[in-house]
Amino acid sequence: MSETVIQVRDLSKRYRLGVIGGRRLVDDINSSMARLLGRQDPLAKVDLLPGADKQKAARSDEMWALQNVSFDVEKGAVIGIIGRNGAGKSTLLKILSRVTAPTTGEVRVKGRIASLLEVGTGFHPELTGRENVFLNGAIYGMTKAEIRDRFDEIVEFSGFEKYIDTPVKRYSSGMWVRLAFAVAAHLDPEILIVDEVLAVGDAAFQERCLGKMEKVAGDGRTVLLVSHNMSTIQQICKECIMLKNGSIHKVGAPGSVVSEYLSETRVATNVDLTQWQDRTGNGFAKLSRMAFLNADGEEAGIFPIGTTICFDLETTYNRELIDPLFEVIIHDPAGEPLMHLRSEHDGLRIGKVNGRTSVRARVDNVGLYPGRYFVSARIAAGGRNVDFPRLCGSFQVTPSPGRHGDLRLNPKWGKYHLDSTWTRGDQ
């Protein structure tokens, strides 16, 4: 019989924007006393027009990060939590990790929790990596002897033998994450909670982290993972929860939930990437726009033969890129990568890039069945990711008139079709 280790019932979290910490201390005290006495906040913003509903106006500073969230997690489950920015994912994990308290509802947890919520959580910048391992372990409730027994394994996993006695204030953000994850994953928690912070690490370390989380789950422990990487969610999670506007929108198998999540991404014709959050890279340059153009040079959200993908980018901090590589990854409706296009395959040498520039890639036959697909884009230079916005756009494939329009293409036989020319041997 399965054992429930996390039980969440009618969980809600309210934030009062600007009520505490944004004014003088005496103002904060007056506001707090008014609430305790059941009176209206004397400093609340209200509409002064005649007949205004002052109570409604006073509540305008409230923001519900979570509303009436309920679910159970069984022992050994690997749960993915997805949703747009602001959906309430991080707030939920902070409540489960006891970093913050709910406004209403209750959470019951059975077992020790190790959580990795933000870069450097629990680290002291003036202490060395070695000292922070012991500090973090103590925060998780481990004894000094227990930490010492696992210390060599933690350091080996992080790959920081050379820097373990260096103050962590000299570490990069990626190094902070590597050491923090190594500590959290090796102190035998019954429940491991990981937020999107793994996106900071390099690709090789991310693969190592995924392998470790799969091993933790295989040992019968429980994993809760927040990620914008849909491939990761589908790779290691057995169940997925989709949050929308602070409430549970859907719970089910990862493939089904991810498909619905991605279906909300609009068909792209001209995508502004300047504010796109789900991206990694060293930031030496940023993709600012992606657009699809048809054979006539007009914007189009469909992808027939003769489509051109356009990218605008700009280097940052007066950086100069030497022969950067451009790549487009095309994903299926579930977010799984299907194929990619690389500038180097066409022999294109970009040369030096400093400032703004644009790159175009023409696709004469994408070979995909009619339907909707998603796009990730990547810039790399010197063997390192520069900018990698994931699943940042989508497009629609339509049958090509006069070529595939009258064919019955059946997706059950594969992900995409290949054009071919056939002849009879006896003719």
pLDDT at 70: 94
The lowest-confidence range among 92-96, 98-102, 391-395, 404-408 is 404-408
Domain with CATH 2.70.50.60 in the chain: 270-407
pLDDT in tens, 223-250: 898 887 777 788 788 899 999 989 999 9
406 contacts: CB under 8 Å, gap ≥ 6: none
The lowest-confidence range among 48-52, 145-149, 185-189, 265-269 is 48-52
Q: Is CATH 3.20.20.150 correct for 4-15+65-261?
A: no
The lowest-confidence range among 68-77, 80-89, 227-236 is 227-236
pLDDT in tens, 150-172: 899 888 888 878 889 999 888 87
Q: How does the average pLDDT of the chain come out, rounded?
A: 78
Residue 270's pLDDT band, with cuts at 50, 70 and 90, is confident
pLDDT at 249: 93
Residues facing 384 on adjacent strands: 381
CATH number at 270-407: 2.70.50.60
pLDDT at 364 over 60: yes
Identify the CA nearest to 305 among candidates 404, 415, 411, 393. Answer: 404
pLDDT at 25: 58
Residue 336's pLDDT band, with cuts at 50, 70 and 90, is confident
Q: Say how far residue 13 (Cα) sits from the centre of its chain.
A: 22
- Please report the beta strands in 332-415, taking only residues with DSSP state E, as ranges in sequence order: 337-342, 352-353, 356-363, 371-381, 384-389, 393-397
Domain with CATH 3.40.50.300 in the chain: 4-15+65-261
Identify the CA nearest to 174 among candidates 127, 219, 206. Answer: 206
pLDDT in tens, 7-65: 999 999 988 765 555 445 566 667 667 767 766 666 554 443 334 444 444 455 678 89
pLDDT at 3: 86
Identify the CA nearest to 17 among candidates 71, 60, 57. Answer: 60
Lookup result for tokens 């999670």: 237
Query: What would the two tokens of residue 33 be?
Result: 């006393």
CA distance 173 to 200: 7
Contact 288, 314 (CB under 8 A): yes
Task: Show the DSSP H helices in 187-229 as ranges.
Answer: 203-218
146 contacts: CB under 8 Å, gap ≥ 6: 137, 187
Lookup result for tokens 């373990």: 164
Q: Say how far residue 43 (Cα) sits from the centre of its chain.
A: 38
pLDDT at 11: 92
What stretch of H or E contains 174? helix 173-186
pLDDT at 302: 66
pLDDT at 47: 41
- Report percent pLDDT > 90 for the chain: 13
pLDDT at 408 over 60: no
CB atoms within 10 A of CB 124: 14
* Average pLDDT score over residue span 341-360: 82
**Is 426 exposed, middle or buried, given 0-12, 13-18 or 19+ CB atoms closer than 10 A?**
exposed
pLDDT at 57: 43
The lowest-confidence range among 54-58, 101-105, 340-344, 400-404 is 54-58
The lowest-confidence range among 16-20, 139-143, 315-319 is 16-20
Residue 208's pLDDT band, with cuts at 50, 70 and 90, is confident
Q: Which amino acid is at 229?
A: N
CA distance 393 to 287: 13
CA distance 174 to 119: 8
pLDDT at 209: 77
Helices 144-158 and 129-139 cross at an angle (nearest 10°) of: 130
The SS3 of residue 151 is helix
The lowest-confidence range among 20-24, 281-285, 341-345 is 20-24
pLDDT at 42: 60
Residue 338's pLDDT band, with cuts at 50, 70 and 90, is confident
Identify the CA nearest to 303 among candidates 402, 392, 375. Answer: 375
